[in-house]
Amino acid sequence: MKKIIAGNWKMNGDPSAMENMLDVLKSVDTENQVIICPPFTLLGHASGAGRIDFGAQDCSAYENGARTGEISAAMIAATEAKYVIVGHSERRQYHNETNEIVAAKAAKAITHGLTPIICVGESLSDKQAGKTLQVIEEQVKNSTIGLQPSSFIIAYEPVWAIGTGLVPTNEDIAIVHARIAALTPAPILYGGSVNKGNAAQIMSIENVAGVLVGGASLKPDEFVPIIMS
């Protein structure tokens, strides 16, 4: 079945890395939907990229105005981007983004024709306290308040699995995705230490519509096998 493979470049990459990636991806033959989310400055570099879609990594919760340094959803929609990641755990952690802020950002994205990829995930201490499902349910509900059900994608990214090489068991991924699927009909991606060795297995789990890939999405020799999974 067709999967969604999204690459989150975070604060990495430059024009030559983008050119190289797009060059490599040109010859990749897959039904899967590939979305690259580079830094804002690399959106607009990709005209003629064919089947590849683009996304930003954040957008403002505000329409426009005196918000130095912020980028609005309308500005993102004016590039070739069709998606925007909102509520990534690094934004929640380092920029104090609450579920309410995340929902406001997602609403702006939808207003301007973008599809938000709304991230949720429990911390290690939540997991250790046995609160994973409770935390995820609260994040999903409160980060999607007021949004049309078919207008967004959810990414389940356990905070302790991001950039650590640690991945939940298949069973744990299945349990969390089933709980999210009971709350919303949105496609649900898994993210956190996805690599070319585990992507196919993760995407075979029920209710996993695809993957959100960080580190491995920067390296064509890792990203291409994930796309082909």
Strand ranges for the chain from DSSP E: 4-8, 33-37, 53-56, 83-86, 115-120, 153-156, 188-191, 210-213
Tell me the closest approach of the beta carbon of residue 6 to ligand PGA, in angstroms. 8
List the one residue out of 190, 198, 215, 221 whose CA is nearest residue 5.
190
Nearest to 8 by CA among 229, 179, 226, 202: 226
Q: How far is the CB of 47 from ligand PGA (least distance, A)?
A: 25
Q: Which residues are bridge partners to 212 per DSSP? A: 6, 191
- For the CB of residue 69, give the shortest distance to ligand PGA in the complex, in Å: 22
Answer yes or no: are the C-beta atoms of 46 and 15 closer than 8 Å.
no
Nearer to ligand PGA, 147 or 192 (CB): 192
The phi, psi pair for 217, rounded to 5°, reads -80, -10
Known catalytic membership, residue 171: no
50 vs 76, which CB is nearer to ligand PGA? Answer: 76
Looking at the Cβ atoms of 67 and 95, the one nearer to ligand PGA is 95
Q: How far is the CB of 212 from ligand PGA (least distance, A)?
A: 5
Options 88, 97, 177, 222, the catalytic residue: 88
Which of 90, 122, 157, 222 is an active site residue? 157
115: exposed, middle or buried (C-beta count within 10 Å: 0-12, 13-18, 19+)?
A: buried
CB 118 within 8 A of CB 154: yes
Residue 88 is among the residues annotated as catalytic for this protein? yes
By beta-carbon proximity to ligand PGA, the closer residue of 78 and 124 is 124
Residue nearest to ligand PGA according to CB distances in the complex: 214
Interacting residues with ligand PGA (CB under 6 A): 8, 157, 162-163, 191-194, 212-216
The catalytic residue positions are 88, 157
